[in-house]
Structure 1
């Protein structure tokens, strides 16, 4: 007998990092009821370990804004060093993962945060639990029915679930369903959303464990250019573990009647030659096919979203899977929260696909080339010398994709239909749609250092950052009426015993001093004498930049009227 149907605002299917971070944000922002289900309890070692391991700087910044990154940093292996060895075991400069050492500055999170997915999920689950929400597992999604005659923001989705322990069915009605259930997404399949792309014949092996080796620099992000196993991945992991990854060719497959853990270990030893390797214990290993696919739509029937692997899959060659999924989650959650709480126009939800899809497409193109090069093959449609060293080309492409891979260069296009990113009256070094750089600030009184990200936490609120120039204009009371769902922060271009000494009046919101070199003003391209106003979206991207003039209030009013009721 089925249980009584219950209602929530949002049902999230899939409790991997993307689903957990999405649920956490909605719970943290408040005013929205959330349920999250997963078909697995992740009880076995194969389910618990392995999978994704690396967060790049922009992802860490996003999680820092949510108050989660420091918890991850407590357990992570903070990887700042890379090395590449050729087939003779000689160190080669400027190849492999070397971009990490040159393209991950301009942030406090200037390293690869390496922490196995199991431990990241533990952190996210505990944070979610602090908001009174537990993952419901093991529950399978049996059916999804959408009442397309129902108005927007009604409980138009009915999901039928099965408790895999008891066998009992139940139903949940929700206003929005978010599929975060991976590459084999049940949500995507039940909504019949085409998943376009292909899966190649290429296969890769990944193995995590405790190792002994004579690799000279083992606690790094390392590449070993093997003539038999492709561009071999070697990464120092948390808790002293190491991940080794290599191409699994047809020749390797034909050498084994059954490719099991022992075979995976044997091939790992061959893959890292000329170095020696002993794997003392294996935490996890897998073999998987390489492919690139994108869902035709990330938002269907005005009530169903896809995020993470449910709407895009790719190889692990560029280590972008979890990063891209968390970017999806952060882009979506604050928008969903504002719409559900009646603050923002429903069309705000349509900017999710408009902003995320172009970045996913950029990743897929890079991934196609990187995954082929990592298996010792030149990219498709290669028009250069067919005898070119594939490892050199791989280094060039990874360097080209460096700002994208670090996430620090990810931007959202200026589109007439997207009210979030608007060109303002002030033009400078940074434009709307770009990441708002983290900058060092000085706290009044104590002169302690802080960072902009620490003072602009993501609470689904916009932040209006006033770089004081003409101080008379920073006390306009109309500013407050101009900025709906926003908080204010004033940055002063010099330190003083108090903010009053500089302004001659109370600041707009909390105030901080720039450092003695005026790095904050310089990084944002703001003239210290004339000042400016920067609107930061909840997710930390720049919404608009205006001059600090009497027209600034009207300009901010117009910007926010395009988003809020």
Structure 2
């Protein structure tokens, strides 16, 4: 009997069950785990190969662009980030003489409009991770470090509701092996992903011979705008990056050419400082303190596939890598995490069809491929070379071309222009017959609203937090009677819609075109449009007829519906292809 008890204890220590195992505790892994914990109904664990003290030594990513900040805001994380971040609202380029020039170098700030986050949120990755870890801890989930994934086995015959993935992990300190059986495993473990390697997923693309130096620290300088996103056109060090960081620090980046490498027996921290001083000439530079520095290789790669059997998924650098030239790595990874998080939650909670998970790669891959092309061009231009497939004048000024490409990629870089295009196999982006300005798959406008009674201003995104639920936004008619009231009644009587709402798959919200003393009787929480009804205009809805905007949990448009007699049936048809009847 004693032997049996000991065997049971041994097995309990060696094997455990969880719904989702996240591998990698960088921002992408933390945001993925946080969403699953926040939405509820799904158990989650997150493991990290490196201890936190080791991770703290890395400078890594620094910039969150507007769309990313919006998504983090809807997850309740932006306010805390803003308490520590530096809000950068200006880009500037200097030529080799130190003169400010326009239409060259960095110009992406020009497209940061139509958002409350009309700036680059600059905060070094280790401080972002602290915020995300603290948020995850509030849901009772701690990062398990130092724990390394050493094996993955997928039971192809198991039901999707069972724990079909067996992960073998090793404690880096105690060296013993454990197995974790899970329903899904997320590989968010970086460019050298163990998950991708263990599943033999090809990582396609190329690593160039180009190398860049990045150095963070506290500096003294006569640069005119040291707290901006700057580029300095250096004839010897490429298009030099200068970024004002949090806590008064600065990041400087420059090309690490053969000349730089050959000039030193060992390229150490002092060499990195010496070359940084040369790179920013004609401006003066002195370092008071160096926080971090590195040399890294530039390359663009993308995984052959982002998932295996809809039970293992790759996200962030595990599925695609690129240079920091476009400053998109962290942002793209968070876009991956947010796109995947709500879909995985709904499926694992039995509220959505498992085929919903197919849309993760369908939606993310085209945007990643677009980024990789931009990044390949930008990284060459920043080393004073024209893009590889350049069709223009061979003598073109590389800094002018860089400005043109940065301008062209502006809405994509900010994230505000990222959309999910129509594809026949994606039920989330159908071919819309709506004549309005918003099509399925585009970002939902974050319109200004007024709260009932006080008429206090708020934003739609603040009132539609990401809780893993679709939002039905009812734009009521001018009159409290008539078509919209009939629609309200019809929706209230719909069995399927009521059940989906009860399961938290769908949430109601009502927007009224004009202020009234009472919003009693509205579906869900109610708000008013502001004067001249710009909200109705942005959504292409006539205040005299009303309409419905269906917004995905991640803030993209699912559909905009004109009010007509069969609107309830149309809503049921839309959701029947995605959501399961929970009862």
Q: Choose which of 474, 486, 490 in structure 2 pairs with 1:478.
A: 490
Residue 532 (structure 2) aligns with: 517
TM-score of the pair, normalised by structure 1: 0.97
- 3-state SS of 1:529 partner: coil
Listed as ranges, the matches of 1:115-126 within 5 Å are 115-126=123-134
Residue 507 (structure 1) aligns with: 522
- 3-state SS of 2:52 partner: coil
- 3-state SS of 2:344 partner: helix
Q: Is the 8 A contact 1:49 1:283 kept in 2?
A: no
Cα distance in 2 between the residues matched to 1:4 and 1:184? 27
- 3-state SS of 2:170 partner: strand
- 3-state SS of 1:222 partner: strand
- 3-state SS of 1:527 partner: coil
Residue 503 (structure 1) aligns with: none
Q: Choose which of 79, 86, 92 in structure 1 pairs with 2:88.
A: 79
Cα distance in 2 between the residues matched to 1:302 and 1:59? 25
Q: Choose which of 65, 70, 85 in structure 2 pairs with 1:61.
A: 70
Cα distance in 1 between the residues matched to 2:383 and 2:517? 61
1:182-209 CA distance string (max 9 Å, x none): 0000000000000000000000010000
Q: Is the 8 A contact 1:535 1:542 kept in 2?
A: yes
- 3-state SS of 1:217 partner: coil
Q: Choose which of 554, 559, 563 in structure 1 pairs with 2:574.
A: 559
- 3-state SS of 1:499 partner: coil
Displacement after TM superposition at 1:42 (Å): 2.9
Answering whether residue 504 of structure 2 is matched by residue 492 of structure 1, we say no
Q: Is the 8 A contact 1:426 1:532 kept in 2?
A: no
Displacement after TM superposition at 1:424 (Å): 4.5
Residue 158 (structure 1) aligns with: 166
Q: Supply the RMSD in Å over aligned alpha carbons.
A: 1.3
Listed as ranges, the matches of 1:331-370 within 5 Å are 331-370=339-378
- 3-state SS of 1:338 partner: helix
- 3-state SS of 1:394 partner: helix
Q: Choose which of 221, 225, 238 in structure 1 pairs with 2:233.
A: 225
Displacement after TM superposition at 1:422 (Å): 2.5
Answering whether residue 380 of structure 2 is matched by residue 372 of structure 1, we say yes
The alignment covers a number of residue pairs equal to: 558
Cα distance in 2 between the residues matched to 1:153 and 1:257? 58
TM-score of the pair, normalised by structure 2: 0.94
1:31-82 CA distance string (max 9 Å, x none): 00101000111314x7434100000000000000100011101110000011
Unaligned runs of 5+ residues in structure 1 are 501-505
Q: Is the 8 A contact 1:427 1:545 kept in 2?
A: no
Q: Is the 8 A contact 2:548 2:561 kept in 1?
A: yes
Displacement after TM superposition at 1:425 (Å): 5.0
Residue 50 (structure 2) aligns with: 40
Cα distance in 1 between the residues matched to 2:434 and 2:124? 43
1:275-298 CA distance string (max 9 Å, x none): 010011110111000000000000
Cα distance in 2 between the residues matched to 1:550 and 1:456? 27
Residue 97 (structure 2) aligns with: 88
- 3-state SS of 1:176 partner: strand
Cα distance in 2 between the residues matched to 1:284 and 1:189? 29
- 3-state SS of 1:235 partner: strand
Q: Is the 8 A contact 2:88 2:228 kept in 1?
A: yes
Listed as ranges, the matches of 1:419-458 within 5 Å are 419-458=427-466
Answering whether residue 31 of structure 2 is matched by residue 26 of structure 1, we say no
Q: Choose which of 11, 20, 24 in structure 2 pairs with 1:10.
A: 20
